[in-house]
């Protein structure tokens, strides 16, 4: 009996040791982001390339409907500022809603968080990005990531005429260290000509006393959404907020841990529209999407990720982009949870 008990105990210890060793090995395997390479990104991209067939390119803004659904790109800026690229990394697309996080940073830097969020909420939402939500009830936008809140945010940036837009553009150029970035005039004109829903939000907020200016302020919002960049630029933006507003090359001119925390918390709460809750569960990283097909991702203290694929899911998020991010997160255990 003692012999059997001893054998049973020894067997149990061996199994426990084996499982423990495998757990450690698995943890090391998933956590070792130093092994990340362009080949890794390429493998993930190829695995998910076909998702474009299940999505749809945004066409409610006519110019966006001209994007090639097959285009796809994947970029990472690692902890040391090293850039890894694969796919159509030179393909330009418009920021759209991703510009909202830049405008929010500028508005809060100028006006202070309390003054900005006195006029809107920190809330998430189960409603689409262009929903009027509670503008007709409380009169305030739910958050700065939905269109109403973003239009208000841009209107809070100081300056006459297109000065607020130029501040957003200059900040994008600074963060990406890419002075050639500009906005697409054709996309801007297309957004302005068809943006009646956004115009309705603008005038509702003006009626509620949140906005005092004229449609120049709305034009600035349309222009910021029309800024063109690449997946690599998005990875640099993700890196910037992941590292307390320090640029990928170490430039710390705008270093501000509090602003970075605010932006990342809003990205996590509402950055993927009404899909944000499920996205937080599956990916678990601050992210911001745009209907141009891009998603920027911040891995706090570690890296920035940028993806591009213009075929969108029903929420307005890049379908292949989401799956590329999800695979990378799982492979390297990047979730903050």
Which 3-state string (H, E, C) describes 84-109? EEEECCCCCEECHHHHHHHHHHHHHH
- d(C-alpha 92, C-alpha 247), whole Å: 21
* Cα distance between residue 150 and residue 153, in whole Å: 5
Is 203 assigned a catalytic role?
no
Considering the candidates 183, 221, 239, 279, report the single residue annotated as catalytic: 221
Q: Does some domain include residue 76?
A: yes
Q: How many domains does the chain have?
A: 1
pLDDT of residue 131: 76
Task: Report d(CA 148, CA 207) in Å as an integer.
Answer: 13
Residue of 336, 296, 289 lying closest to 316 (CA atoms): 289
Per-residue pLDDT of the chain (337 residues; tens, 9 = 90+): 444 544 444 444 444 444 444 443 444 445 488 889 999 999 999 999 999 999 999 998 899 999 999 999 999 999 999 999 999 999 999 999 999 999 999 999 999 999 999 999 898 877 767 677 777 777 789 899 999 999 999 999 999 999 999 999 999 999 999 999 999 999 999 999 999 999 999 999 999 899 988 899 999 999 999 999 999 999 999 999 999 999 999 999 999 999 999 999 999 999 999 999 999 999 999 999 999 999 999 999 999 999 999 999 999 999 999 999 999 999 999 999 9
Give the closest residue to 150 by CA, choosing from 266, 275, 292, 13: 266
What pLDDT, on a 0 to 100 scale, did the predictor assign at position 130? 67
Q: What is d(CA 236, CA 75) in angstroms, rounded to the nearest whole number? A: 9
Question: Directed axis angle between helix 163-176 and helix 216-225, to 10°?
Answer: 20
d(CA 74, CA 307): 5
| CA dihedral (289, 295, 299, 304) positive or negative | negative
Domain extent, residue 98, equals 38-332
Nearest alpha-carbon partner for 307 in 48, 100, 31, 37:
48
Residue of 52, 77, 99, 100 with catalytic role: 100
Is 97 an annotated catalytic residue?
Answer: yes
pLDDT, residue 34, reads 84
Provide the token pair at 61.
């803004």
| 86 φψ region: left (φ > 0), alpha (ψ -120 to 50), beta (else) | beta
> What is the model's pLDDT at position 308?
98
> Is residue 106 assigned to a domain?
yes
Known active-site residue 51: no
Q: Is 75 annotated as catalytic? A: no
Give domain status of residue 21, yes or no.
no
Q: Please, what is the Cα angle at 243 between 241 and 249, to 5 degrees?
A: 100
In a domain, 94, yes or no: yes
Please check whether residue 11 lies inside any domain of the structure: no
Q: Is 118 part of any domain?
A: yes
Is 307 among the catalytic positions?
Answer: no
Q: Can you tell me the distance from the alpha carbon of 219 to that of 10, in angstroms, rounded to the nearest whole number?
A: 74
Catalytic one of 188, 273, 279, 322:
273
CB 125 within 8 A of CB 143: yes
| Model pLDDT, residue 135 | 75
Binding residues for substrate: 97, 147, 191, 198, 221, 273, 291
Catalytic residue among 51, 75, 97, 226: 97
Residue 57 near residue 67 (C-beta atoms within 8 A) = yes
Residues 6+ apart with CB under 8 A from 297: 238, 283, 285, 286, 287, 304, 305, 306, 307, 325
Is 32 inside any structural domain? Answer: no
CA neighbor of 217 nearest in space, from 295, 286, 161: 161
Give percent helix, percent strand, percent coil of the chain, each to the nearest 5.
55, 10, 35
pLDDT of residue 27: 41
Residue 46's CB is within 10 A of a number of other CB atoms, namely 13
Residue 231 domain-assigned (yes or no)? yes
For residue 299, the domain's CATH number is 3.40.710.10
pTM above 0.85, yes or no: yes
| 3-state class (DSSP) for residue 288 | strand
């Amino acid at each position: 009996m003692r012999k059997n008990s001893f054998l049973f105990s020894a067997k149990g210890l061996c199994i426990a040791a084996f499982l423990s060793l495998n757990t450690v090995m698995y943890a090391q395997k998933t956590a070792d982001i130093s092994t990340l390479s362009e080949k890794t990104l390429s493998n993930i991209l190829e695995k998910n390339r076909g998702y474009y067939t299940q999505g749809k390119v945004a066409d409610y803004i006519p110019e966006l409907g001209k994007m090639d659904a097959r285009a796809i790109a994947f970029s990472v800026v690692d902890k040391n500022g090293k850039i890894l690229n694969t796919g159509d990394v030179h393909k330009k697309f418009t920021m759209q809603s991703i510009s909202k996080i830049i405008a929010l940073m500028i508005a809060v830097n100028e006006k202070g968080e309390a003054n900005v969020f006195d006029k809107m909420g920190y809330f998430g939402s189960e409603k689409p990005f262009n929903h009027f939500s509670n503008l007709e009830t409380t009169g305030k936008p739910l958050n700065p990531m939905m269109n109403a809140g973003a239009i208000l945010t841009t209107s809070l940036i100081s300056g006459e005429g297109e000065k607020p837009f130029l501040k957003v553009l200059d900040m994008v150029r600074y963060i990406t260290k890419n002075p050639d970035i500009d906005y697409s005039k054709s996309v801007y004109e297309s957004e302005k000509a068809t943006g009646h829903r956004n115009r309705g939000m603008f005038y509702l907020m003006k009626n509620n006393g949140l906005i005092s200016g004229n449609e120049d302020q709305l034009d600035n919002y349309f222009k910021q959404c029309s800024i063109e960049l690449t997946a690599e630029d998005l990875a640099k933006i993700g890196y910037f907020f992941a590292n307390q507003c320090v640029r990928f090359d170490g430039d710390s001119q705008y270093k501000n841990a509090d602003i970075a925390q605010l932006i990342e918390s809003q990205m996590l709460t509402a950055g993927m529209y009404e899909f944000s809750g499920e996205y937080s569960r599956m990916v678990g990283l601050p992210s911001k999407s745009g209907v141009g097909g891009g998603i920027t991702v911040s891995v706090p203290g570690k890296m920035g990720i940028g993806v591009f694929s213009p075929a969108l899911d029903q929420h307005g998020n890049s379908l292949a982009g989401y799956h590329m991010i999800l695979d990378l997160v799982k492979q390297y255990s990047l979730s903050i949870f």
